[in-house]
Structure 1
C-alpha cells in the first residue's frame, strides 16, 4: 500500500493543451449541471445522471491519462464509487447508501495515496479539527445516523491526512472535499445555509478534479 504513495521515478507533467482538451467533457458537464440546476426536492434519474456525469468524465480522464501504476487505478475506482454515491444521494431515503459509497471512495483514495511519508503531525491537526466540528454537529444528529456519520467522518479524516501528506494537487483535493462535506453536513443537520448547495457542489467538483489531476501528475516510470 505504501508503494502507491511513493512511486519511484520523477514526476511527469502531461502536455497542458492535451490535458485541457481531455478536461473538456468534465467542464461541459459541470456547466450543464449548474445551468440546469434541477430542483433537489424533485429526485429523478435525470437529476442523478446530470449530477454524476462530471465525476464519470473525470474517471475517464484518469483512465486515459494516468495509465501507469496503481495510483491512477485506485483514484479512478474512487471516482466511480463517488459517482454511485451521487446517484444514491439524489433520493433522501438512500442517504446511508450514498454515505457508504463515498466512504468506499475515500478508502480507495487512501489506498492510492499510501502511507509514506507518514507525517503524524498532520494527523494530529486533522483529528483536532474534525473532533471540534463533530462536537458542534453531534447535538443535531438523529440517533439513528450518529454512528454512521462518525464512522464516515473518520474515513474522510483519514483521506484528508494522507492527501495532505502527499501534498500538491492531492492535498488541495482533500481539503476541498472536507470543506464540501462540512458544509453539506451543516446544511443538512443543523440549518440551511445561504447558497449551501452551490458551495457544496463547487467545492465537491473541484475536489474530484484535483484528485483526478493528481493522477495525471503521476510519477513517470523509471527508465
Structure 2
C-alpha cells in the first residue's frame, strides 16, 4: 500500500473515532480507537528504514505497546503500564538518532514542568489515599518527560513535535481525570495523541531520506 494512502487512512479513521464513534457499544469504541494505531504500525513495518533498523524496530515496539495501552486504558493502571513501556521503547529509538545533548535551560524547563505536574496531579491522588496510583503516575510523568528529553536530543522537528504533542495529550488527560473537567477534553486528548503517533510514524521516512542522500554523496 502506498505511503500517502496509509497516512490518509490514519487521518480518516482518527477523525472518525474522535468525532463520530459513540461511547457505546464499548467494544465498537475500542475497536475504532486502535484502527489508526494498527495502520501506523503497518506503515512503519512496510516503509521502515533498512539503513537504521534499530530505530525502526524500537519505534515499532513503541507503537505496539501504545496500541495495547489504548485498548486497556479503561483498566487505568494496566493501560498506563503499556504506555510506559511504549515510552521506554521510544526513548531507546530516539537514542539511535541522537545528535547531541540539549541546552541546559531546556532541560531545566522540562524538569520544572515535571515537578509541577507531580506536585499538582500526584499530590491530589495521594490525598485520596490511593498511593499505588499516585506512585504509578509519578513514574509515568518521569518517563514521558524523559521521552521528550530524548526527542529533543535528536534535533528532529518531526520527533520533537511528536513528543510535545504526546506530553500535551497526557497532560490534558491527567488534568481532566484527576483535577477538573476540561471542555472538549476528548477532542484535545485524542487529536494531539494521534498527531504525536503520526509524527513518530512519519519520522521513519525523514531518516530514510536523509541517510539515502548521505549514501548518494
User: Aligned-residue CA RMSD in angstroms?
Assistant: 1.7
Kindly indicate whether residue 152 of structure 2 is the aligned counterpart of residue 164 of structure 1.
yes
Kindly indicate whether residue 199 of structure 2 is the aligned counterpart of residue 181 of structure 1.
no
What is the CA–CA distance in structure 2 between the aligned matches of 1:186 and 1:25, rounded to whole Å? 30
- Shift, 1:105, TM fit: 0.5
Cα offsets for 1:2-21 (capped at 9, x unmatched): xxxxxxxxxxxxxxxx5322
Q: How does 1:1-223 map to 2 (within 5 A)?
A: 19-39=3-23, 42=24, 44-68=26-50, 69=52, 70-89=54-73, 91=74, 94-114=75-95, 116-119=99-102, 121=104, 122-141=106-125, 142-166=130-154, 167-218=156-207, 219-220=210-211, 222=215
- Shift, 1:202, TM fit: 0.4
For the residue of structure 2 that corresponds to 1:117, the secondary structure is coil
- Shift, 1:31, TM fit: 2.7
Higher relative contact order (CA 8 A, sep 6+): 1
After the TM superposition, which segments of 4 or more aligned residues of structure 1 sit over 3 Å from their partners?
A: none
> Mean alpha-carbon deviation: is it higher for 196-205 or for 60-69?
60-69
What is the CA–CA distance in structure 2 between the aligned matches of 1:43 and 1:190, rounded to whole Å? 28
- Shift, 1:64, TM fit: 1.3
- Shift, 1:159, TM fit: 0.2
Cα offsets for 1:109-129 (capped at 9, x unmatched): 111100541225233221111
Size of the alignment, in residue pairs? 201
Structure 1: gaps of 5 or more residues: 1-17
- Shift, 1:43, TM fit: 6.7
What is the CA–CA distance in structure 1 between the aligned matches of 2:141 and 2:117, rounded to whole Å? 10
Q: 1:102 to 1:202 in 2, by over 3 A?
A: same
Cα offsets for 1:151-204 (capped at 9, x unmatched): 011110100001122131000000000000000000000111110111000000
Name the counterpart of 1:11. Answer: none
For the residue of structure 2 that corresponds to 1:191, the secondary structure is coil
